[in-house]
Structure 1
Amino acid sequence: MIKKRKVNTQSKANYSTNKLFNFSKMDLDKVYKELNTEVNGLSKEEVEKRAEIYGLNELAHEKPSPWYIQLLKAFINPFILVLIALAIVSLITDVILVSPAEKNFTTVAVITIMVTLSGLLQFFQEFKSGKAAQQLKALVKTTAAICRKESGVKEINMADIVPGDIVYLAAGDMIPADVRIISSKDLFISQSSLTGESEPVEKYSTLKNDTKDLTVTDLDNICLLGTNIISGSATAVVIATGNNTYLGSMALTLVGTKTQTSFEKGVNSVSALLIKFMLIMVPVVFLINGITKGDWLEALIFAISIAVGLTPEMLPMIVTTNLAKGAVVMAKHKTVVKKLDAIQNFGAMDVLCTDKTGTLTCDKIVVERHLNIHGEEDLRVLRHGYLNSFYQTGLRNLMDVAILEHGVTNGFDKLEKDYIKVDEIPFDFSRRRMSVVLKNHEGKRQLITKGAVEEMLESCSYAEYKGNVVELTDKIKTKVLNMVEKLNNDGMRVIAVAQKNNIPDENNFSVKDENDMVLMGYIGFLDPPKDSAAAAIKALHNNGVAVKILTGDNDSVTKKICSEVGLEVSNVVLGTELDDMSDEKLSSLVDTTNVFAKLSPLQKSRIIKILQDKGHTVGYMGDGINDAAALRQSDVGISVDTAVDIAKESADIILLEKSLMVLEEGVIEGRKIFGNIIKYIKMTASSNLGNVFSVLVASAFLPFLPMLPIHLLLQNLFYDISQISIPWDTMDKEYLRKPKKWNADDIGRFMIFIGPISSIFDITTFLVMWFVFKANAPEMQSLFQSGWFIEGLLSQTLVVHMIRTKKIPFVQSRATTPVLLLTSLIMIAGICIPFTAFGASVGLQALPLSYFPWLVGILLSYCIVTQFVKIWYIKKFNSWL
């Protein structure tokens, strides 16, 4: 039985790498012996044993928390914890420490209702979101053709593969594990997801290159999990599965706690601010009422109610509802949200870092130029390139596909009947060219070769120059290289085309025949920009989002593409330059540089970290394994549904189409969500602060409590209910033009300037109730409290419309129907409560009709003053929401 060596997480990567090197050097007989397997595969019994030892062939990923842990976490946030503490204190003072006849569960019940509603709604939304993400991941199923003794070759789920399995591979297959090749035919592998290199590499059954400088991806006879077959076929034996693979060792390093995002930092800073303010004000209220009224227990209960009033207890519910609604809206824009918090970060994002390929470009190479040595368009060059690509049977890369497509548009598809292929000399990455030998109906033979310019110049002795075949001199070589450099600067990849007519009359040709050739010209290729790229970049720019390209591609091609889509390239920094650059130096140029080329995965993460340290909210979009670290480092990681598993695991948001236009829609939606969240915080914090000031003034001078604890709690609960509709409100267009970030200082300033306005009119109400309606003695406190209850609730509710926009409410900007309807219902309910039996049961009483003209005047004056203060505030601080 094969033995499994135990290794810890830190040594996992080294162990995996050493294991691969060892297997690459073994002959096949020793490989079979080491893995205890055979050419026809493992038996069913052996498969079951190994499945128990190694588990499923899956990479490490962050498992979702059990539902009960998610439920517990939903109730663990600063606001809910404060309310739970207050409920416990209220339970002690209102229930445990009093006689049976005086027991009062009302305060405890109201606080418990608030906590339960807030926590449960957050739990349900987070739970639903997590399930949706799991369902998305479950859609991606990968199988592999495995040979086993009893069943023969059969497609099975990739997760069921074990070490020692014999796997059959063909073009288009994913490599299902780390494997050692047994046999192969023209096998070319794309390792771009591991290395970032777009060029495929050829793999063999033997180790052809055994130098000390080899990396794991350089091993000729080893294929790694996470790579895929471009062309050819192979049979291989599985060396390692799951977390024991090379890719698995990388995955283990990525599983863990993600960097705290700007959203989380913002919520924490706001929470800290409000809790600090509560800790200051509540003892003051307690002392004033205890000293002036003499009843310290009643003063404590009243102070608890004030604490509840100062706590925006519905914030978790409002935030979650906003984010959940945003997730639904973004789904309609072909965007799946894995983590709700990420939606707000989308709106706060002011820098988007993204790769070039597939975002700015179509990820599809096309023939842009086909030139002779003089730089003139020449169909003969394209014709010979077409014949070479058409008749080759090895790897057809994207350039071959482009040549064939372009050749068909020029009618070259009819050439097939004029030629017969004699032989071919396959492409390899050491000589970087390939050749075919063709014969026409007259028996004339021709060798046609295409490949990298430098290597082609070494094989050519002649050139077609000024209509003649002449010797390829240094002067002509210089002319050729200058032309190629010009094409490279235009963003093109270039290959050379050559031919030779004087070839032997035989059927077998080799590399030695690629000499004394005639250079004809070159073909230039371009990965063109998407039609929507320029418009999308302009839209992001207009919305205050800077786009930075972080790519592994070369700088010339990247600069050209950027210029075509309107992305001005002020400076380009290469990965080699970053290696010797200090963080201080990088920080000084990261804002003014928008293109970073030839980067490694760690360099991408480093750039994002530097941007974050400078106060930016950074998004990153990527879909490869080499993007996973950058996705985790960013404030909002964005990937696509076709991405590799690690990229999707690391991302917060998954796009169903890789387009920048989708990102712009997400940015706008994120800003709407942030605007509605900040509305609630500023509305609630400022109005509650105003109430506390009013309570302080009233407590200092009144011979009775200005409002009973239950009145404060009811008023707060009614107000919170009116706020539930905020997620369905709109934002002014002007607000959506720039990124929005949390600013605890701004919220504190807003509270201080806007909150006390309501206190002015609360005190006016006190004076009216005291002098006009003679509610100036303890026996008249119910009338006083009822008058303030209605005025306080209505002013708090009306301020929703005053604060939700920097414009004139109802005239220049009107709330949505849900907001209008719910705030109206709450105001009607507030007016009616003192006239009901429920109102009487909580100490309220009916008010005389003469009270209401005073109420209308006070509320109208409050709205007018608030509007004037708003105008002054915006002019003074250049901000509102």
Structure 2
Amino acid sequence: MTPTISGLTSAEVAARTSEGRVNRTRSSAWADYAAIASRHAFTLFNFIVVPAAFALFYHNEWQAGISVTGTALANTLVGLFQEWRAKRQLDRLAILNAAKVRVVRDGQVSEIPADDVVLGECVLVRAGDTVVADGAAIEARYLEMDEALLTGESEPVRRQVGDRLLSGSICVAGEGCYRAEKIGAHAFAQSVASDARRYSYASSPMTHVLNRIISILSVTALLLCVLYFALYYTGRVETNRFVLMVAATITSMIPQGLVLTATVSFTIGAVVIGRRGALVQRLNAVEAMAAVDVICTDKTGTLTTNRLRLASLRVLTTDVSDADVRRRIALFAQASVDAQNKNIQALQVALGAAPSESLDQIPFKAQNRFSAVRVRDGRTERVLVLGAPEVLPTDNPVGGAELNELRRAGLRVLAFAEVPEDRVSAAAFEPDTLPGPLRCLAFVALVDELRPDAAAVLQALSAQGIAFKVISGDNPETVRGTVAHLDLPMAREPVVTGSDLAKAEDRTAFVEAHSVFGRVEPQQKVLIVEALQKGGHHVAMIGDGVNDVLPIKRADLGVAMGEGSQAAKTVSSLVLENNDFALLPETIAEGRTIVRNLRRASKLFLVKNVYSLLLILVSVSGAGGLPFPYLPQQVSLLNWLVIGVPALLIALTRERSAAVNREPFLRDVGGFAVRTGVIFAVAGVALLALSKHLWGDDLRTQRTLLLSALVLLGVTVLQRVFAGGSDRAVATDRQLSRLAPVVIPAYLIAMYWPFSARFFHLTMLGPVQWLVVVAIVLVTYAATLLSDRLVRPRV
């Protein structure tokens, strides 16, 4: 469409931009940085630890005070650094891949980022575009809008000049221009496309679970502190001991680095994936990648290149010459309002221009599978129709053999027809209604090349345990002809249709049993996704067109192709910006790597929380007269040696593993932590009891024995995390599992270097004491291995 308005001038745009009347909803970059700083500084952990640190310094417990303060500062600064760095990198990617719109400025059409639209801007829209601001249509040619994402209304709505367009709605047919009257935060959908691409902190389902776990542990720690206060108030605990108990409980019970590790992992994963050409628009998409076990995809633009060309033109009548048929098809292609349609573009390239006067149109819609034009060719008025052969009622029946031959070759076959000249004046043009009667003139056969790497990509996905389903609106024979070249088991399966799906009594079982679907209506794509989800699958949907928007939005992971419609990219969680289908196995493997690493890191954190809670409860209850298990600085030493640093190294590991653990997070991580923590706590209680009642050791030695055992047991947890469960060890696992030669010497230095021994309040153990510690550790380790063996059949 050539707009008849001149739009804003450059001076007007500059003035409105300087006044802040721009289509942006986010605050300044500095406000984003301030929000990150606030989120990391004002945490529950810091809120409790900072007063405890002041109290420790006040009571001259400077070792404990330094340790607690250092822990809080380290967690805060590491979190700030990682998220600030990730924000800068993601913002750069967002600028490079920002949503674009076409506007009219100074009488010329320009393409600009959606964020740069100013108030009063004249914005062009065509099929596949998303409306980015609210405003009235000032030009409209057969314009139809899909507002399902806003109102839930599934039927497209025809819009005329003066009608209001809402941001977030999608153009499904025709073209037009609207004036941006409400922008940014004032628009109906608050600039959906812009919000999707900017940096934001988004919790994933896994981080929600971790937050709940941390909330429970935090409340438990606070209740213990209330109990300590009661003991202090009744005089059963002196002031210094009370403050030490509070600080030690907070640092041992609240896994302050766990959510930090998760956030950093997801953010770094998004950056890594983005650098490869796949833009992550929502951080929880990284987690969704790990869970995907079924991928649904449209055929065109995903398995195929979406670069259509005219392969064959079969004229079906002797009344019109081949040259005249070709010219009439060229007339249709030149006059069609669907200029962005790949079919129309292929015809324009193959047949050239044929100027005519367009009088009326019925734009193409996936639901109808046809389009029509009324044109004046010189003094002759013609009504021309292009669509699927089975939807065009013609008065000259054509044989099916020729049609099937073309389809079996994998060609997309369209029927070209016209209203006979003597009936043109009576042919009615109404939306969604075929003008008639029609005379079929030709079959138009278009070829869409299969991506050269399609078979390899599908094989790579299959190796990761992912099933694949092709869902296409094309004729079943065309779909069968396309997938036949894949040389995969699904290529030998029968192609079922949307009609077969509608007749199925059990849709879930029907969808599970078939892999290739043809002649599927847009709404049926949503039904297929929902049926798979009902069957317990995590579904990814890949698409590029307007008819893929709803299934992309409904899927657990929505993936859009970079050359696809802006509407599809807006609602998706992942955009393959460079249109490289081969990136999909890489991105899914990256997501699985991140989630695998987070499960492992979570086990390290939560094991300590379980045995710390049990040891503290035994101590506070007075059972056996056992002492409080450790001091704050000893907790910090334990954290850094066998939890914090190993967890950070695990989270940063990028080596891939095709294995995926589909066990629920809480059952896997929680079960490991509870059974391991209970066994460790029993061993710790036994060691403390032996030290106090049998050997008569002093308090410092009792705590040193316990801490030594827990450090060695922490090393065994590392070994089990890498070697156990359903995860398969990779090279990096074997390297990380060798942390023991680093952890144990570091602990020995802390114990035998006089300065650090005084700081951490450790006793230098003798050979006999070490033998006892090692013996208890070996027995405990054997017990944990037995527990792994008992539960592994259920993993």
Larger deviation, residues 856-865 vs 256-265: 256-265
CA distance in 2, matches of 1:545, 1:41: 50
Alignment-derived partner of residue 433 in structure 2: none
CA distance in 1, matches of 2:164, 2:627: 85
Alignment-derived partner of residue 715 in structure 2: 797
Matched residue SS, 2:301: coil
Alignment-derived partner of residue 559 in structure 2: 638
Matched residue SS, 1:365: strand
Residues 641 and 372 (structure 1), Cα distance of their counterparts in 2 relative to 1, 3 Å cut:
closer
The 5 A counterparts of 1:554-633 are 566=490, 573=498, 616-622=537-543
Instruction: List per-residue Cα deviations over 1:450-478 (Å, max 9, x = no partner).
Output: 9558799999xxxxxxxxxxxxxx7xx34
Task: Quote the offset at 1:752 in angstroms.
Answer: 2.9
Task: Quote the offset at 1:55 in angstroms.
Answer: 2.8
Percentage identity across paired residues of the two chains? 17
Alignment-derived partner of residue 582 in structure 2: 661
Residues 533 and 873 (structure 1), Cα distance of their counterparts in 2 relative to 1, 3 Å cut:
same
Alignment-derived partner of residue 67 in structure 2: 110
CA distance in 1, matches of 2:602, 2:273: 24
- Asked if structure 1 preserves the Cα contact closer than 8 Å seen for 2:273 and 2:590, the reply is yes
The 5 A counterparts of 1:153-172 are none
Instruction: List per-residue Cα deviations over 1:291-317 (Å, max 9, x = no partner).
Output: 998658736743652343233221123
Alignment-derived partner of residue 837 in structure 1: 755
**Please, which of 101, 122, 125 is the counterpart of residue 79 of structure 2?**
122
Larger deviation, residues 119-128 vs 588-597: 588-597
Give aligned pairs, total: 742
Matched residue SS, 1:844: coil
Matched residue SS, 2:444: strand
- Asked if structure 2 preserves the Cα contact closer than 8 Å seen for 1:188 and 1:229, the reply is no
Alignment-derived partner of residue 73 in structure 1: 39
- Asked if structure 1 preserves the Cα contact closer than 8 Å seen for 2:102 and 2:109, the reply is no
Alignment-derived partner of residue 134 in structure 1: 91
**Please, which of 640, 646, 649 is the counterpart of residue 722 of structure 1?**
646
Alignment-derived partner of residue 368 in structure 2: none
1:827 aligns with 2:753: no
**Please, which of 176, 179, 188 is the counterpart of residue 240 of structure 1?**
179
Alignment-derived partner of residue 432 in structure 1: 372
Task: Quote the offset at 1:832 in angstroms.
Answer: 1.7
Task: Quote the offset at 1:689 in angstroms.
Answer: 2.4
Alignment-derived partner of residue 84 in structure 1: 47
Instruction: List per-residue Cα deviations over 1:514-539 (Å, max 9, x = no partner).
Output: x9999775233354543333443444
Instruction: List per-residue Cα deviations over 1:710-741 (Å, max 9, x = no partner).
Output: 323432343323332112447794xx434646
Residues 162 and 860 (structure 1), Cα distance of their counterparts in 2 relative to 1, 3 Å cut:
closer
CA distance in 2, matches of 1:160, 1:730: 37
Matched residue SS, 1:359: helix
**Please, which of 444, 456, 475 is the counterpart of residue 523 of structure 1?**
444
The 5 A counterparts of 1:400-479 are 402=346, 429=361, 432=372, 451=386, 477-479=396-398
The letter of the residue matching 1:707 is Y
- Asked if structure 1 preserves the Cα contact closer than 8 Å seen for 2:295 and 2:541, the reply is yes
Alignment-derived partner of residue 672 in structure 1: 593
Task: Quote the offset at 1:67 in angstroms.
Answer: 1.7
- Asked if structure 1 preserves the Cα contact closer than 8 Å seen for 2:204 and 2:287, the reply is no
Task: Quote the offset at 1:221 in angstroms.
Answer: 12
CA distance in 2, matches of 1:305, 1:83: 14
1:786 aligns with 2:704: yes
CA distance in 1, matches of 2:440, 2:630: 96
Gaps (5+ residues) in structure 1? 1-30, 32-37, 197-212, 408-415, 439-446, 460-473, 504-509
CA distance in 1, matches of 2:546, 2:444: 32
CA distance in 2, matches of 1:317, 1:160: 34
1:298 aligns with 2:241: yes
CA distance in 2, matches of 1:90, 1:560: 72
Task: Quote the offset at 1:839 in angstroms.
Answer: 1.3
Residues 722 and 217 (structure 1), Cα distance of their counterparts in 2 relative to 1, 3 Å cut:
same
Residues 607 and 764 (structure 1), Cα distance of their counterparts in 2 relative to 1, 3 Å cut:
same
Task: Quote the offset at 1:681 in angstroms.
Answer: 1.4
**Please, which of 376, 380, 399 is the counterpart of residue 480 of structure 1?**
399
**Please, which of 97, 101, 105 is the counterpart of residue 146 of structure 1?**
105
CA distance in 2, matches of 1:707, 1:741: 35
CA distance in 1, matches of 2:716, 2:450: 51
Instruction: List per-residue Cα deviations over 1:434-456 (Å, max 9, x = no partner).
Output: 99999xxxxxxxx9999558799
Alignment-derived partner of residue 12 in structure 1: none
CA distance in 2, matches of 1:368, 1:399: 12
- Asked if structure 2 preserves the Cα contact closer than 8 Å seen for 1:355 and 1:551, the reply is yes
Task: Quote the offset at 1:842 in angstroms.
Answer: 3.8
Task: Quote the offset at 1:511 in angstroms.
Answer: 9.0
Matched residue SS, 1:432: strand
CA distance in 1, matches of 2:779, 2:391: 86
**Please, which of 726, 748, 751 is the counterpart of residue 673 of structure 2?**
751
CA distance in 2, matches of 1:708, 1:167: 65
Larger deviation, residues 161-170 vs 832-841: 161-170
Alignment-derived partner of residue 494 in structure 1: 414
CA distance in 2, matches of 1:813, 1:422: 62
Task: Quote the offset at 1:347 in angstroms.
Answer: 0.7
Task: Quote the offset at 1:665 in angstroms.
Answer: 1.5
Instruction: List per-residue Cα deviations over 1:737-787 (Å, max 9, x = no partner).
Output: 34646432443322232223334544564477558xx7515xx33233223
Task: Quote the offset at 1:677 in angstroms.
Answer: 0.9
- Asked if structure 1 preserves the Cα contact closer than 8 Å seen for 2:136 and 2:165, the reply is yes
CA distance in 2, matches of 1:758, 1:429: 76
Alignment-derived partner of residue 610 in structure 2: 689
Residues 297 and 318 (structure 1), Cα distance of their counterparts in 2 relative to 1, 3 Å cut:
same
Matched residue SS, 2:596: helix
Residues 317 and 252 (structure 1), Cα distance of their counterparts in 2 relative to 1, 3 Å cut:
closer
- Asked if structure 1 preserves the Cα contact closer than 8 Å seen for 2:392 and 2:415, the reply is no
- Asked if structure 1 preserves the Cα contact closer than 8 Å seen for 2:687 and 2:706, the reply is yes
**Please, which of 304, 308, 332 is the counterpart of residue 365 of structure 1?**
308
The letter of the residue matching 1:126 is E
CA distance in 2, matches of 1:517, 1:619: 41
CA distance in 2, matches of 1:262, 1:40: 48
CA distance in 2, matches of 1:691, 1:168: 63
The letter of the residue matching 1:675 is R
CA distance in 2, matches of 1:304, 1:589: 59
Higher Rg of the two aligned structures: 1
Alignment-derived partner of residue 367 in structure 2: none
1:776 aligns with 2:716: no
The letter of the residue matching 1:118 is N
- Asked if structure 2 preserves the Cα contact closer than 8 Å seen for 1:552 and 1:597, the reply is yes
Matched residue SS, 2:255: coil
CA distance in 2, matches of 1:831, 1:536: 51
Gaps (5+ residues) in structure 2? 150-154, 363-370, 427-435
Residues 518 and 714 (structure 1), Cα distance of their counterparts in 2 relative to 1, 3 Å cut:
closer
Task: Quote the offset at 1:678 in angstroms.
Answer: 0.9
Matched residue SS, 1:524: strand
CA distance in 1, matches of 2:722, 2:192: 45
* RMSD of aligned Cα (Å): 6.1
- Asked if structure 1 preserves the Cα contact closer than 8 Å seen for 2:501 and 2:510, the reply is no
CA distance in 1, matches of 2:633, 2:392: 91
1:322 aligns with 2:265: yes
Matched residue SS, 2:764: coil
Residues 586 and 276 (structure 1), Cα distance of their counterparts in 2 relative to 1, 3 Å cut:
farther
Instruction: List per-residue Cα deviations over 1:272-309 (Å, max 9, x = no partner).
Output: 56457657888899999999986587367436523432
Task: Quote the offset at 1:670 in angstroms.
Answer: 1.2
Instruction: List per-residue Cα deviations over 1:82-134 (Å, max 9, x = no partner).
Output: 45325435645x45xxxx6x332544543343333334433443333343343
Alignment-derived partner of residue 333 in structure 1: 276
CA distance in 2, matches of 1:812, 1:41: 61
